[in-house]
């Protein structure tokens, strides 16, 4: 059911992008939007993982430089029947983690130094199992495509704004009204669809991650600690690039009021409640 819902949301996001292109430039704008979507997705498919790892200054580790983490990921990957992903560490105090890569054969998982320092071995296992669930479900590719389309819609909104500033756009079928719709409503609609896709995939990764490590409460305990710590600890790179927040297991944003616009994660309380229910220990938050 998650896959059906995600497919429908992605189709809606693509249609929204093409519709924005039509409102900005008529049939020609629609064709340009299609071409941009195709080029952007091809580029993201091959390069997005490298870009985001470089953005966060992630360094690849192995059995020599981080033996405990690499061995743990290897064991979990075997349980999940996945190829061994590359493992990275990010020098950040905030406890967090993400997965990236276009498919299971080209995947990577990354954990912050704050996570490795703050969580127990069992809790780290729960987090890494969650990230491997994203890999197994191919969520990393889905998130890359949705982020690319959402970014392209924002770019179209900027084009519409500049076109209006420099004499208007005669190709827009609704004229000034169409341009205004794209400028204001396009990015908001894209953001809402992106949020819906991300939240759907997070619940699925929590459930599968619990199955991979065999202990739902490990992940539940990790989420509680990470959420409390993330609320007190900045992650500057994420604050400067808020669209990447959807990649992390808990929302890394909190410093600015505008961060609420990028709340792509479901409520941590609800995630923990579901995990506890899986373990037969459902109880109120706190």
CA angle 156, 161, 164 (to 5 degrees): 125
Give burial (CB, 10 Å; 0-12/13-18/19+) of 15: exposed
CA 95 from centroid of its chain's CA atoms: 16
User: Closest Cα to residue 83, out of 107, 60, 111?
Assistant: 107
| 131: annotated active-site residue | yes
Distances (CA, A) of 218 to 76, 258, 279: 14, 32, 10
Give burial (CB, 10 Å; 0-12/13-18/19+) of 32: middle
DSSP code of residue 191:
H
- Catalytic: which of 131, 211, 270, 281? 131
Residue 5: how many other CB atoms lie within 10 Å: 13
Please enumerate in sequence order all residues whose Cβ is within 8 A of that of 179, keeping only pairs 6 or more positions apart, or say none. 23, 24, 160, 161, 163, 164, 168, 169, 172
Which pair of tokens denotes residue 219?
């992940």
Which pair of tokens denotes residue 59?
């360094």
Q: Which residues form the catalytic set?
A: 131
């Amino acid at each position: 059911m998650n896959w059906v819902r995600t497919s429908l949301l992605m189709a809606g996001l693509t249609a929204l992008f093409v519709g924005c292109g039509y409102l900005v430039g008529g049939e020609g704008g629609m064709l340009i939007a299609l071409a941009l979507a195709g080029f952007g997705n091809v580029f993201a498919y091959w390069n997005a993982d490298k870009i985001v790892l470089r953005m966060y200054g992630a360094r690849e580790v192995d059995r020599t430089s981080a033996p405990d983490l690499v061995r743990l990921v290897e064991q979990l990957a075997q349980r999940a029947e996945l190829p061994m992903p590359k493992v990275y560490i990010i020098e950040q105090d905030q406890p967090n983690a993400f997965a990236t890569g276009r498919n299971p054969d080209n995947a990577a998982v990354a954990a912050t130094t704050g996570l490795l320092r703050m969580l127990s071995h069992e809790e780290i296992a729960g987090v890494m199992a969650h990230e491997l669930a994203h890999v197994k479900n191919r969520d990393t590719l889905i998130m890359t495509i949705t982020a690319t389309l959402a970014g392209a819609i924002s770019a179209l909104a900027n084009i519409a704004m500049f076109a209006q500033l420099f004499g208007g756009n005669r190709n827009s079928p609704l004229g000034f009204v169409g341009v205004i719709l794209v400028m204001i409503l396009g990015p908001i609609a894209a953001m809402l669809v992106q949020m819906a896709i991300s939240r759907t995939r997070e619940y699925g990764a929590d459930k599968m991650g619990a199955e991979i490590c065999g202990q739902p409460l490990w992940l539940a305990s990790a989420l509680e600690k990470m959420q409390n710590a993330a609320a007190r600890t900045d992650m500057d790179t994420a604050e400067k690039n808020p669209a990447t927040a959807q990649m992390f297991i808990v929302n890394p944003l909190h410093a600015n009021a505008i961060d609420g616009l990028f709340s792509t994660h479901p409520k941590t309380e609800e995630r923990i409640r579901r995990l506890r229910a899986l373990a037969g220990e459902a109880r109120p938050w706190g």
